Amino acid sequence: MKETTHLVGVVTIVASVCLSTRPAIAAKYEAIDVKDGGTITGIVRWEGEIPKRHRLKVSGADEPCHAKPIPNDNLVVSKDAKVRWVVAHIKKIDHGKPFDIDPDKPITLDQKGCRFRPHIVVVPKDQPLRILNSDGVLHNVHLHAKKNEPFNRSMPGRMKQLDVTFDYSERIRVGCDVHKWMSGWIVVAKHPYYAVTGKDGAFRLEGVPAGNYTVEIWHEKFGKQQAEVTVTPGAEASVEFVLKQK
């Protein structure tokens, strides 16, 4: 993991530190020019009564930061039974399109209104994730990583951004101990075929080489599900998942 710190305002420090050696043994992903690729479209539906979206219980200092009610993001189901914040990815794919990385448009995770935005962010392995602090109050970015380095850094109000790069693909829970209702997820992707469902419960994986694949979804409360899908050149293959109250 690499880390770069920027302090904007009172003082500016730029530090770049290599936190670990590169893994000698890791599953390889080979980027190729995908011609006649197909698309996997998916939808995650909810079965049963639509759950209410609760407001989070907040307390403590920094009231302006959490003056507005903060909705719970860990189960968001639309009125028409579509589930948001579900991560989908292709399992065991070893070649395909390259990562679409634009250094001028860094992937960001903001702390705004004492809430992580977005709730789930997907970042390619080796690309910096820019963690922002729009709140102007003290947060601590606490990453509960297992494969990557565990990480707990102060972000006082004057510190506007902190860049972190990850070595290994995994899902990392991110929290803030100062405002302990804050909860989000960083999904470190080892290939470009990852997506997160929006309000419509849908995801889309484009430019997939023709072949047979396993698509896996993950929801923080409901765990994983898998489905087999066949991709043919230039065509769309659709897949549907259903979540229901345990």
Partner 1 sequence: MKRGYGPLLVFAAIGLATGITLSQIACRTPASGPSTAAMNTLATHEGYELFAAHCAPCHGATGGGRGPAAIALSVAPRDFWHERFRYVSTLNGVPTEEDLIQSIRYGRRFGEMPANPQLTDTELRTLARYIREIQRLGWLDVLREEFAGDEDTSPDELEEISHIRVRPREPIHVARPERGFRRDLDTGRELYAANCASCHGLTGRGDALDKPLDEQGKPISVRNLTSGEFRGGAKVEEIFKRIRCGVPGTPMSAAVALTDEEVWQLVYYVRYLAGRT
Q: Give the interface with partner 1 as residue ranges (CB under 8 A).
A: 3, 5, 7, 11, 13, 15, 17, 19-21, 23-27, 59-62, 91-92, 137-138, 140-142, 144, 146-147, 149-159, 162, 168-169, 177-178, 180, 190
CB of 226 to partner 1, least distance (A): 10
Distance CA 207, CA 231 (A): 10
Pick the closer one to partner 1 by CB: 59 or 212.
59
Burial 68-103 (b: 16+ CB within 10 A, else e): eebebbebbbeeebbbbbbbbbbeebeebbeeeeee
The residue (of 74 and 140) whose beta carbon lies closer to partner 1 is 140
What is the C-alpha separation between 89 and 226, in angstroms, rounded? 10
CB of 109 to partner 1, least distance (A): 16
Which CB sits closer to partner 1, 3 or 73? 3
Task: Considering the complex, state which of residue 119 and residue 190 has its C-beta at the smaller distance from partner 1.
Answer: 190
Vertex 4, ends 63 and 160: CA angle to 5°? 25
- Shortest Cβ distance from residue 11 to partner 1 (Å)? 6
3-state DSSP call for residue 142?
A: strand
